[in-house]
Amino acid sequence: MVRRYYRPIISEGEGLPLAGGPFRFARAEVVTRGGSRGLIPAEDVPADWLDRLTRPRPLLARFGAGPLPLVMGILNVTPDSFSDGGRHEDPVLAGAAARQMHALGAHFIDVGAESTRPGARELPAGDELARLRGLLPALAGLNWSIDTRKASVMQAALAAGASLVNDVSALGHDPAALPLLAAADVPVVLMHHQGTPETMQLAPHYDHALLDVFDWLEGRIAAAQAGGLAADAIIADPGIGFGKGLAHNLALLKGLSLLHGLGVPILLGASRKALISKISCDEPVQARLPGSLAIALAGASAGVQLLRVHDVPETVQALKLWAAAHPCLP
């Protein structure tokens, strides 16, 4: 049997509520691996899909979400991350940067101590913990997340006050991670990837990028729930740039609203990534702010609930102006 997927078409104040947020949809595109089957009224979407598309996301209320996407500021305490590597190795400077991002509007500070840029090799857990050790006390009182694949690093971060885990392996790297998070009742971002950071950009391949990513994330969400993680403790990330070429990334960005059919909040992380320069004029990393903002606003228009960015004040400002000019938002 041919599986049908239902991508909500966001409308201006008409139709059914999308994911309990400010947007609505009156129609949905029927998508199959053979192509689009056209549009149908939202009320004709099958009941299971309709429930996942419309029900509120209680995890967002837990983090005090409003009509705008939550902004997650990136803080890498690494020497080799693709954009900010080497800038925050000093714990004092890193702590100051975290507090500044918080003051400028970041809802989360996403702290990472292992680079997962294309070509990066795995860092031993002990080295990752050593990079974090001096910073953790400086994060007290902030709302922060830990960007890691390793259970031991997750455990140390949770003990220091992290409120969210962001795992680029979607709990597939370390078998101890899922039981740890299920027992701790801590929410987690499950990110799609193909391959490992060391190999992921060598020859990424998809039969249908959007639907392949949807199916993969659906499977990881089911596995996380089967392992004891609560359904409302999961966030999904399509993993822009993680085992994907330009055409794959664009297919995901164009079809983002389909991911609401997973029934969980969606995080988009495309800040300063290479797809920007490939579409534009081959700009270096530090010159990709306009493209980063464009993708962030495209994500917001698709109903994405979290944006992971390097440029916090610029993104916050752009979102405020976008909301003020949007007919569907207060």
The ranges assigned to domains in the chain are: 1-55, 57-324
- What are 252's two structure tokens? 């995901």
CA distances to 165, 196, 213, 284, 318 from 296, rounded to whole Å, are 21, 25, 20, 19, 9
Note the pLDDT tens digit of each residue in 175-233: 999 999 999 999 999 999 987 777 768 778 999 999 999 999 999 999 999 999 999 99
pTM: predicted TM-score of the whole model, two decimal places:
0.95
Spatial distance between the Cα atoms of 260 and 257, rounded to a whole number of angstroms:
6
The CATH number of 57-324 is 3.20.20.20
Q: Which residues contact 1 (CB under 8 A, 6 or more apart)?
A: none
Question: Given pLDDT bands bounded at 50, 70 and 90, which one contains residue 248?
Answer: very high
Nearest Cα to Cα of residue 249 among 204, 283, 219: 204
- What are 10's two structure tokens? 């966001």
Nearest Cα to Cα of residue 69 among 294, 239, 323, 289: 323
pLDDT above 90 (res 153) = yes
pLDDT above 60 (res 82) = no
Rounded (5°) CA angle 226-228-233? 105
Known catalytic residues?
273, 308
- What are 73's two structure tokens? 């500021």
**Cross-strand partners of 144:** 109
Q: Work out the number of other CB atoms within 10 angstroms of the CB of residue 236.
A: 25
pLDDT at 204 (0 to 100): 85
Nearest Cα to Cα of residue 285 among 123, 103, 117: 117
Spatial distance between the Cα atoms of 58 and 246, rounded to a whole number of angstroms:
33
Contact 100, 134 (CB under 8 A): no
Torsion of CA 167, 258, 253, 327, to 10 degrees: -110
Spatial distance between the Cα atoms of 5 and 24, rounded to a whole number of angstroms:
18
CA dihedral sign of residues 212, 216, 221, 226 = positive
Question: Given pLDDT bands bounded at 50, 70 and 90, which one contains residue 263?
Answer: very high
Note the pLDDT tens digit of each residue in 43-66: 999 999 999 999 999 999 888 878
Spatial distance between the Cα atoms of 27 and 187, rounded to a whole number of angstroms:
31
- What are 277's two structure tokens? 């320069």
Share the mean pLDDT of the chain.
93
Spatial distance between the Cα atoms of 64 and 81, rounded to a whole number of angstroms:
30
Spatial distance between the Cα atoms of 22 and 330, rounded to a whole number of angstroms:
9
pLDDT above 60 (res 85) = no
Q: Which alpha helices (DSSP H) does 227-305 contain, by range?
A: 246-254, 274-279, 289-301
